[in-house]
Amino acid sequence: MFANFADRTWLWLAAEFYLVGFLLGTWSLLRGGKPLNVATYFLIVAGYVMQLTGLYLRGLAVGGCPLGNTFELFQFTAWSAISLYLVVGVTFRTSLLGYFTSCLAAVLTLVSLAIPAWDSTRSSGIFGNNPWIEFHAALALFSYGVFGLLALTALMLQLRNYSLKNKRIGGWFSFLPSLFDLDQISGRLLVFGVVLLTAALTVGSVHWVQNTATVHWPKLLTTVSVWACYAIALVLRIRGQLGARRFAWTAIILFTLALLTLGVVDANRRNPATPAASRK
Amino acid sequence: MSHFPPDATGLFVFGATHRTTPIEVREKLSLPAPTAEHLHADLARIAGLREYAVLNTCNRIEFYGVADTPDAAAKVQAAFCQRQQFAEEEFAKYRTSLNGPAAVQHLFEVAAGIDSQLVGETEILGQVKGAYAAAQARRSTGPVLNRVFQKTFQAAKHVRSSTAITEGQVSIANVAVELAYNIFGRLEATRVLLLGAGDIGEKTAKAFRSRGAGSLTVSSRSMERAMALASELDAQALPFEHRAEHLAQFDVVVCSTSAPEAVVLAADVRTAMRGRASRPLFLIDLALPRDVEAEVSKLENVYLYNLDDLAKIAEENRAAREAEIAKCRQIINERASALWKQVESQVTGGPNRTAPPIQPDQEAR
C-alpha cells in the first residue's frame, strides 16, 4: 500500500503527525501534564520519517535536492528544524522545545501543502548539474532550519523571562528550561546557523563570481542581507551589546524575515518554470 | 496500665504524630539513641510480640508490630512510656492506633509523604527505610513486616512518580533556591551574597550552600557578626560598605538586614549590570522593611523577589500538593488492599482467625 503513495501523500501524512503531536502536547499541557511525552515524541519521529520519505521520493523524481519551488523550500526548512531538534533534544531539557518544534513543523508543512500554487510549477535545472550549487542550496536551507529552531528557543527565553518577571513559575512555565540554559543554547544555535549560512554563501559565491548573471540581484541582496543581519547579531552578542531579551526578539524577527525571503529566492529562478515533479 | 488497645492481635500501629500531638509533647516523646537501645531490649522480651519496628522522627513516634496476643501492643506502649517517663494516661490523649489493612494503608501514606507536615516531602521515605533497616539489623522483623515494608517502598516510589505530590517547593528558602535553578540552571558556578544576618536569610544561604552554590559571601552591618556567620557557613566576609562596588561579582543576592532604609539601590544595580554582559542577577529580599528598592525589578535581566512573592509561590505549591492527595490515596488504597490480601493469612494464621479491627483512638485524617 505504502509503495503507491506519492511524495505529497507522505508529506501530508508527516504534516498531520506533526499536528497531532502538537495537539496532543497542548491537551497534555491543559491537563497539567508534560507537553512532550513518549507518545508525542513518537509522533514527531514518525512525522520526520514520513517527511524524509516524501522528500526522498520528490528528490528521485526531480533528480536532485527538492528545492525547486516555495513548497519545497518550506518543506526542507521544516525538515531541517526537526532534524536538528532530534539531535539537540537529547542533550537538553527540551520538553517544551519539542512541543514548539512540532508546532513550527506543522505550520510550515501545512501552509505549504495548503497553497497549491506554491507547488504547481517548479524550476528545473536550477543547479545546472553542478553538485556544488545543490550543496550550497541545501546548506543554506538547512541554516534556515537552524534559525527556525533558534527562533523557538528565543521564544521560550521570552516566556521564561515573562514568567520570572511576573512571578508565575508554576503550571506549564515549569516545563521551560532555565533562562541561562536557553540563552546558552540560543547562542550556540546562532553560531551554528551563521557558520552554515556563511559556508553556503561561500560555496555559492565561487560559482557566482564565475558567472554573475546566473543569480538575480533581489535574491542576492535578500540572501546576503539575511546573512549580514545574523552575523551582526552574533558580533553584538559576543561583544555583550545584545542582552538576552533583545537577542531573543532579534532572533524571532530575523527568522520571520528570513522566511519571507524564501519567496524572493524562489521568484528569481532564472530558468523557465516547468510543471511540478511527479504526482503518482 | 491503661486499657490499650482492645483485642490488638495481628498487625498494628500506634503512636503520636504532628497531627494530634503538639511540638512540646513530641519533644518529650522523641526517643534519644541510648533510650531507644534500652527500649528495644524491653520490647524483645514481650511475649506475644512476633515482629516490630519503630519509626522515630521529629514529627512522629510510631510502633509497627505483629501481635499474637491481645495485650502485646499494650505492653509495647507501657514499655515506651516507662522508658520515656511519660504517663500512659497522658500519652493516650495523643495516641493514634490502627490495625490490619488500615495499618498498612497508614504506613504507605507516611512513606509517600502525604501524612507529613510538609505534604510531599521526600525525607520521610529515607526515615522509614532507616527504621526498617534498624529493625532488620535487630532481627525484630519477620515475614509480615518485611513484606509490608518492602511493598511500602515500592508504593511510595510509584506515588511520587505518577503524581505531582513532590512537585514545587513549599518553604521560603527552597522556593528561593528553586527560582535560582529557573534562572541559572545549575548552581555550581553561582556566587551568592548574603546581606544581613537575619535568621531567614541564614536559612536561605544554607539552602543555597546545601544545593551546591559555587561560593557564598556574607556581609553584615556588624563585621564581627558577618565573620562569625561566614565561619559557620564556610563563606567569605565582605565589609558592608563595599557591597555596592562588588555587586557585579554576584549572581544571587539574599537580603535580610534590619536596616530601616533600602541597602540595595537601583542605581547600584544598574551600574553592576553593565559589568555582567548577559548574565542575570537574582535578588531575594527577605527583609521588612524591604532592603531592595522596588524599581530594581524594572531593570532588564534583573529578577527581584520579596518575602510576599516567595510566600505566595510556596502557598501555591502547597495547595497544588494538597490537591494531589486524593489521587495518591486512590493509588495507595489499591496497593494496600492488594498487599493485605497477601499477608492477611500470615498475620492472623488464616482468614478464620482474623481479629476484630481496632477502631482508631483518634481520627487521624
Spell out the domain ranges in chain A: 2-275
A164 contact residues in B (CB cutoff 8 A): 179, 182-183, 303
Contact between residue B194 and residue B291 where contact means Cβ atoms under 8 Å apart: no
Which of A183-197, A256-270, B349-363 has the least mean pLDDT? B349-363
Q: Which B residues, 268 through 307, put their C-beta within 8 Å of a C-beta on chain A?
A: 277-280, 297, 300-301, 303, 305
ipTM of the shown complex: 0.74
pLDDT category at B297 given cuts 50, 70, 90 is very high
Rg of chain A in Å (alpha carbons): 19
Residues B28 and B158 in one domain: yes
d(CA B292, CA B262): 5
Please tell me which residue of chain A has the smallest CA distance to B185. A178
Residue with cell 511520587: B160
d(CA B328, CA A243): 44
CATH number of the CATH domain containing B296: 3.40.50.720
Of B200, B178, B197, B175, nearest to B187 by C-alpha is: B178
B301 contact residues in A (CB cutoff 8 A): 243-245
Residues B144 and B192 in one domain: no
Residues B205 and B141 in one domain: no
pLDDT category at B331 given cuts 50, 70, 90 is very high
Higher pLDDT, B163 or A208: B163
Q: Report CB contact under 8 Å: A169, B320.
A: no
- Condensed to tens digits (0 to 9), the pLDDT of residues A10-59 reads 999 999 999 999 898 888 877 767 776 788 888 999 999 999 999 999 88
Residues B35 and B133 in one domain: yes
- Measured between CB atoms, which of A176, A240, A243 is closest to B300? A243
Which of A273-277, B115-119, B277-281 has the least mean pLDDT? A273-277
Task: Classify residue B79: in a domain, yes or no.
Answer: yes
pTM of model > 0.80: no
Residues B294 and B331 in one domain: no
A interface residues, B as partner, C-beta within 8 Å? 32, 160, 163-165, 167, 169-170, 174, 176-181, 183, 237, 240, 242-245, 247
B181 contact residues in A (CB cutoff 8 A): 178
CATH number of the CATH domain containing B68: 3.30.460.30
Q: Report CB contact under 8 Å: A244, B297.
A: no
Contact between residue B182 and residue A177 where contact means Cβ atoms under 8 Å apart: no
Residues B107 and B135 in one domain: yes
Write down the catalytic residue from B58, B81, B255, B328: B58
**Residue A160 burial by Cβ neighbours in a 10 Å radius (0-12, 13-18, 19+):** buried
CB atoms within 10 A of CB B26: 19
Residues B215 and B278 in one domain: yes
For residue B159, how far is the Cα from the chain centroid? Answer: 17
Q: Report CB contact under 8 Å: A170, B320.
A: yes
Residues B240 and B142 in one domain: no
B313 contact residues in A (CB cutoff 8 A): 167, 169-170
Task: Classify residue B316: in a domain, yes or no.
Answer: no
Task: Classify residue B2: in a domain, yes or no.
Answer: no
Instruction: Report pLDDT for B157.
Output: 95
Residues B283 and B344 in one domain: no
Catalytic residue status for B58 = yes
- Structural domain count of chain B: 2
Residues B250 and B137 in one domain: no
Which of A119-123, A149-153, B233-237 has the least mean pLDDT? A119-123
State the residue range of the domain holding B67: 10-162+321-353
- Condensed to tens digits (0 to 9), the pLDDT of residues A48-107 reads 999 999 999 988 888 777 877 888 889 988 998 899 888 877 666 556 778 888 888 999
Mean pLDDT of the residues in chain A: 83
Interface probe, candidates B169, B278, B296, B318, chain A, greatest A C-beta count within 10 A: B278
A180 min Cα distance to partner chain B (Å): 5
Contact between residue B203 and residue B323 where contact means Cβ atoms under 8 Å apart: no
Using the predicted structure, report yes or no on whether residue B137 has a pLDDT greater than 70: yes
d(CA A122, CA A134): 15
A32 contact residues in B (CB cutoff 8 A): 164
Instruction: Report pLDDT for B346.
Output: 84
Residues B205 and B263 in one domain: yes
Mean pLDDT of the residues in chain B: 89
Mean pLDDT to the nearest integer, A123-145? 77
d(CA B291, CA B308): 13
Instruction: Report pLDDT for B40.
Output: 93
Instruction: Report pLDDT for B50.
Output: 94
A245 contact residues in B (CB cutoff 8 A): 300-301
Rg of chain B in Å (alpha carbons): 26
Inter-helix orientation angle A217-238/A244-267, to 10°? 170
Task: Classify residue B130: in a domain, yes or no.
Answer: yes
d(CA A276, CA A124): 9
Residues facing B96 on adjacent strands: B15
Residues B229 and B89 in one domain: no
- Condensed to tens digits (0 to 9), the pLDDT of residues B183-199 reads 998 899 999 999 998 78
Q: Which B residues, 164 through 183, put their C-beta within 8 Å of a C-beta on chain A?
A: 164, 167-168, 178-179, 181-183
Sequence-distant (6+) residues with CB within 8 A of A121 are A69, A273, A274, A275, A276
Instruction: Report pLDDT for A32.
Output: 67
